[in-house]
Amino acid sequence: MNETFARRSLADICSRLYDRGLTVSAGGNMSVRTGPEEILITPSGVNKGMLSPEDMVRMDIEGEVLSGGKPSIEHGFHLALYRRNPRTNAVVHCHPLYCTALAVMNRKIRSGLTPEGVILLGDVPMVDYETPGSEELIRAVEMHSDARAMLMRRHGALTQGKDLIEAYNRMEELEFQAKLQMLVGRTGNLPRSEIEKLVRL
């Protein structure tokens, strides 16, 4: 992906996440792959609603910073997902309110409440709590690297996709499903036969 376009796209997605209330203040981190061995990632400690294309930090897949700026302290699990998944070209991590509420309560997302949850998210694992930025957190995320979306216990949520739009859409859907789950209580999932049919789609 052209770097100039990637910088603009990443800044736009950050703004959308902020405007939708999916991230607040300097919380979260987002990245996009610009080539087989390079990514752009949001800088550390900057409000995601106020980022410009020039603020994004360029890194190689092994973690070396190639441009000015300090990358998010959580760049490690972004890089781990890119190394594990050649088809992953974008990673979004933020702290949406309802997702984070479920993560604090250690309650898994029930993505089988609606067809959209099944199709867009699939099974959503809960990543064990580890200190942000730590090697332990990188390993905990890596354990679920095949998941399209994850909750991170007492931390937030994470999605990955073939591009920024897919990763963004999954985060938006993840928060919708979390809110829906909080509202409907113990209402059951779709029938197993219907979920299996949707998975085949």
How far apart are the C-alpha atoms of 46 and 157, rounded to whole Å? 19
Q: Which of 38, 74, 130, 172 is catalytic?
A: 74
- From residue 169, how far is each of 45, 54, 149, 163, 181 by CA, in Å? 24, 24, 11, 10, 18
Distance between terminal CA atoms of the chain? 29
Assigned token pair, 165:
């739009």
* β partners of residue 21: none
Q: To the nearest 10°, the Cα dihedral for 61, 8, 177, 79?
A: 10
How far apart are the C-alpha atoms of 42 and 31, rounded to whole Å? 6
How far apart are the C-alpha atoms of 57 and 42, rounded to whole Å? 6
How far apart are the C-alpha atoms of 69 and 82, rounded to whole Å? 21
At 133, is the secondary structure helix, strand, or coil?
coil
**64 is known as an active-site residue:** no
Give the active site residues.
74
